[in-house]
């Protein structure tokens, strides 16, 4: 019984720390409702991103090690791109309807969302160099 309680406490700490970590480091955590407002209202059949800056959106879970690596990598590059790219995350366990609609089958899954045009997705955790290349080639954002 003690092991079950201890495991529950550890899981709660991981979930709380992950949510706090993402928000404290400039990565905004989205829900299904905020996704519809900030990224795409999927009730409309035509993709229309309302943002005025390109965005990176990572689908994660609190129990996924590679997801936490991806968040850490985004945190590392965020200071360089925070003026030109928006950074978001979505917990797939807490937003099952959205995850199902977008057919996210694996985590982490990352959407690179340009201001104009459809998003591009990539599955897995990526190095800083690969993310920077995607920012430059897909989102068309260059550092000065």
pLDDT in tens, the chain (144 residues): 666 555 554 444 444 444 433 454 799 999 999 999 999 998 888 999 999 999 999 999 999 999 999 999 999 999 999 999 999 999 999 999 999 999 999 999 999 999 999 999 999 999 999 999 999 999 999 876
Give the whole-angstrom CA distance, residue 91 versus residue 2.
28
Classify the C-alpha dihedral 109-95-37-85 as positive or negative: negative
**Domain residue extents for the chain:** 2-137
* Catalytic positions, written as ranges: 64, 67
Which one of 2.40.50.140, 3.40.30.10, 3.40.50.1360, 3.30.420.40 gives the CATH number of domain 2-137?
3.40.30.10
Laid out side by side, the sheet with 109-113 consists of 28-30, 86-91, 55-60, 109-113, 120-123
């Amino acid at each position: 019984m003690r092991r079950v309680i201890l495991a529950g406490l550890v899981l709660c700490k991981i979930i709380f720390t992950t949510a706090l970590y993402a928000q404290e480091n400039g990565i905004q955590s989205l829900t299904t409702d905020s996704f519809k407002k900030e990224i795409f209202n999927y009730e409309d059949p035509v993709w229309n991103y309302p943002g005025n800056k390109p965005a990176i959106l990572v689908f994660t879970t609190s129990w996924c090690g590679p997801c936490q690596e991806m968040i850490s990598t985004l945190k590392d590059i965020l200071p360089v791109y925070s003026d030109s790219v928006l950074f978001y995350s979505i917990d797939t366990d807490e937003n099952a309807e959205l995850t199902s609609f977008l057919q996210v089958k694996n985590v982490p899954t990352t959407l690179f969302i340009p201001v104009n045009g459809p998003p591009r997705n990539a599955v897995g955790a990526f190095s800083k160099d690969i993310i920077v290349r995607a920012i430059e080639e897909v989102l068309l954002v260059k550092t000065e």
